[in-house]
Amino acid sequence: MRRCRRRPGRRAVAAPAKPSDRVDVGGDPIDAYLSDLKAGRRLAANTLTSYARDLVLLGDFAEARDLRVSRLGRRDLEAFVRDLMGSGLAPRSVARVVACVRGFYRFLLADGQVASNPADDLRAPRSWPALPKFLSTADVDVLLEQPDVTTAVGVRDRTLIELLYATGLRVSELVSLQPESLHLDAGYLT
């Protein structure tokens, strides 16, 4: 029996089965592909786990249509992508699943298990860039008041906060600044 998990603000979704929970392990093209990835591409364990989850979703989709994954056609895969989008997955997550599925079908084609690749030009949904989070003016004012400017450390901290706020530097860029980067007479940083 599958567990259901609830995502905040979304309906309950069936938790995908683990790859090891699949009944047909012997000769399973999904397991063969994952073994090939593990041996040949030396992917990180987390990447392999993600790919396994993605392919279990594909396997479950095929099973619901009474098909083997090697028998899914282009329209089936497009329906699979639509189902993923309808399930509440973020566009980036769906894009990762689509990339995994394309690689899987390239493997099946190279292995002779399919005559053509139905996922050859399967498109992932467009993902929009995440908007940067920013502080309100009131939050910045509160932050600027935090350092004790009666001490040298407080003056330094206030200067760093103001520099971050005024320039939009990333913290990594700020900590990599050198004294020669500051051009006080000209009023700029390099």
| Digit-coded pLDDT (tens) for 110-169 | 988 999 999 998 888 776 666 677 888 899 899 999 999 999 999 999 999 999 888 888
> What is the CA 190 to chain-centroid distance, rounded?
33
Cβ(76)–Cβ(58) under 8 Å? no
Closest by alpha carbon to 7, among 128, 90, 82?
A: 90
Question: CA quadruple 119, 125, 127, 128: dihedral positive or negative?
Answer: positive
Residue 50 token pair = 């993600």
In the structure, what pLDDT confidence band is assigned to residue 92 with cuts at 50, 70 and 90?
confident
- What is the DSSP-derived secondary structure letter of residue 177? -
**C-alpha–C-alpha distance, residues 46 and 61, integer Å:** 23
- pLDDT tens readout for residues 32-56: 898 888 888 777 888 899 999 999 9
Residue ranges and CATH numbers for the domains of the chain are 4-110 (1.10.150), 137-189 (no CATH)
Please tell me the pTM assigned to this model: 0.55
* Percent of the chain scoring above 70 in pLDDT: 83
Residue 35 token pair = 């073994």
- pLDDT tens readout for residues 100-118: 999 999 999 998 899 999 9
**Number of Cβ within a 10 Å radius of residue 54:** 23
The β-bridge partners of 13 are 5
For residue 146, the model assigns a pLDDT of 95
